[in-house]
């Protein structure tokens, strides 16, 4: 008899209910107690797994054995000595990052780092959470928690006892990002203004050439106004179009800004939160163009590489659609 997925060990409901217990255990300690930090990592993993199970519990199954797939959807093991195996938490985070646009590289990076702290706490002599102040991780923990809960249509109040306090910490993160990036922009503006007209003109020419030749989404620098580049990370589904007239396959995908660089004045900004704070947080589109032979792999890699050399300049990524 098939058990209901809702009651299966890898179900969203089961994982979230256990996460609630772990958060309760976390909150039974004061924030400066090392156990507060340790329990937070255990709760975060369960919430992340619940969020992925919300899409489908099958995504949690290790694909090396098909019985893991059936176990994920509620079937009892049908083989002796079978032990269900799920994917590692790092892979859980990576899948969420690719499938859920709001799980940004920053959030995914924090989750992986926080869970690595758990491993160091448990498997080494390091006293991670005894020495790490909560300001270094707690606001980002609540931000990540809120983001993962939203995947399941839940809110902070569904799992933490003081959602308003957690929300205040999250808002403080945005304020700190805005303050930091504003200071960087003003500092580079000052250096830029102290350059001679000749130096600025030469730098603009160099930046224009650089921005044209390198892959990225072209924008004007907030510090000096020169052409600059935004780099992004893929988010969401890929759309595919076939241009039969030109014999090309065109794929487009939403890109979330991840970093900014201007070689004219040297301004660099990393992280979506800082980019959003200075007005560079809008998503853009990445476009890739393939010949039919490339897309459908009609030739070997060696043949394709030779064709690219012979037909240079070839197709490149385009991040400048408007």
- For 80-114, the three-class secondary structure string (H helix, E strand, C coil) is CCCCCCECCHHHHHHHHHHHCCCCCHHHHHHHHHH
3-state secondary structure of 45: helix
Of the pLDDT bands very low, low, confident and very high (cuts 50, 70, 90), residue 263 is very high
- Rounded to two decimals, the pTM is 0.71
Do 29 and 147 fall within a single domain?
Answer: yes
Distance CA 121, CA 113 (A): 12
Q: What is the DSSP string of 165-222?
A: HHHHHHHHHHHHHHHHHHHHHHHHHHHHHTS-HHHHHHHHHHHHHHHHHS-SEEEE-T
Pair 146, 156: CB distance under 8 Å = yes
For residue 166, being part of any structural domain is answered with no
Query: How does pLDDT run across 52-102, given as a tens digit for each residue?
Result: 999 999 999 998 889 888 888 888 888 888 888 999 999 999 999 999 989
Do 153 and 12 fall within a single domain?
Answer: yes
Which is more confident, 171 or 156? 156
Query: How does pLDDT run across 220-261, given as a tens digit for each residue?
Result: 999 999 999 999 888 667 888 888 888 888 888 878 788 999
pLDDT surpassing 60 at residue 310: yes
Domain that holds residue 50: 5-161
Do 89 and 53 fall within a single domain?
Answer: yes
Question: What is the tally of structural domains in the chain?
Answer: 2
Pair 170, 144: CB distance under 8 Å = no
Do 145 and 184 fall within a single domain?
Answer: no
Strand partners, 231: 259
For residue 73, being part of any structural domain is answered with yes
Please, where are the H alpha helices in 28-162?
34-55, 66-72, 89-99, 105-123, 128-131, 138-151
Do 294 and 214 fall within a single domain?
Answer: yes
């Amino acid at each position: 008899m098939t058990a209901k997925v809702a009651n299966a060990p890898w179900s969203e409901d089961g994982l979230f209910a256990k996460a609630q217990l772990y958060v309760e255990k976390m909150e039974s300690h004061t924030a400066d107690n090392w156990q507060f930090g340790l329990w937070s990592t255990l709760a975060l993993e369960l919430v992340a797994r619940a969020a992925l199970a919300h899409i489908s519990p099958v995504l949690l199954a290790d694909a090396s054995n098909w019985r893991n797939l059936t176990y994920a959807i509620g079937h009892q093991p049908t083989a002796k000595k079978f032990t269900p195996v799920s994917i590692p938490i790092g892979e859980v985070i990576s899948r969420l990052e690719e499938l859920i646009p709001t799980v940004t590289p920053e959030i995914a990076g924090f989750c992986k780092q926080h869970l690595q702290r758990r491993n160091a706490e448990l498997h080494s002599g390091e006293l991670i959470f005894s020495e790490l102040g909560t300001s270094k991780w707690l606001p980002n923990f609540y931000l990540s928690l809120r983001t993962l809960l939203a995947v399941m249509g839940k809110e902070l109040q569904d799992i933490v006892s003081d959602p308003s306090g957690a929300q205040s910490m999250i808002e403080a993160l945005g304020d700190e990002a805005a303050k930091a990036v504003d200071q960087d922009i003003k500092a580079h503006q000052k250096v830029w203004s102290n350059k001679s007209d000749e130096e600025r003109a030469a730098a603009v020419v160099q930046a224009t050439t650089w921005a044209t030749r390198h892959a990225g989404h072209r924008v004007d620098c907030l510090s000096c106004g020169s052409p600059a580049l935004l780099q992004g990370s893929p988010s969401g589904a890929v759309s595919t179009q076939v241009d039969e007239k030109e014999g090309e396959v065109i794929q487009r995908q939403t890109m979330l800004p991840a970093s900014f660089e201007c070689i004219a004045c040297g301004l660099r900004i990393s992280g979506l939160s800082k980019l959003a704070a200075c007005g560079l947080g809008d998503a853009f589109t990445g476009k890739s163009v393939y010949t039919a032979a490339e897309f459908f792999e009609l030739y070997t890699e060696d043949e394709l590489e030779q064709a690219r050399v012979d037909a240079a300049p070839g197709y490149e990524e385009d991040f400048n659609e408007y």
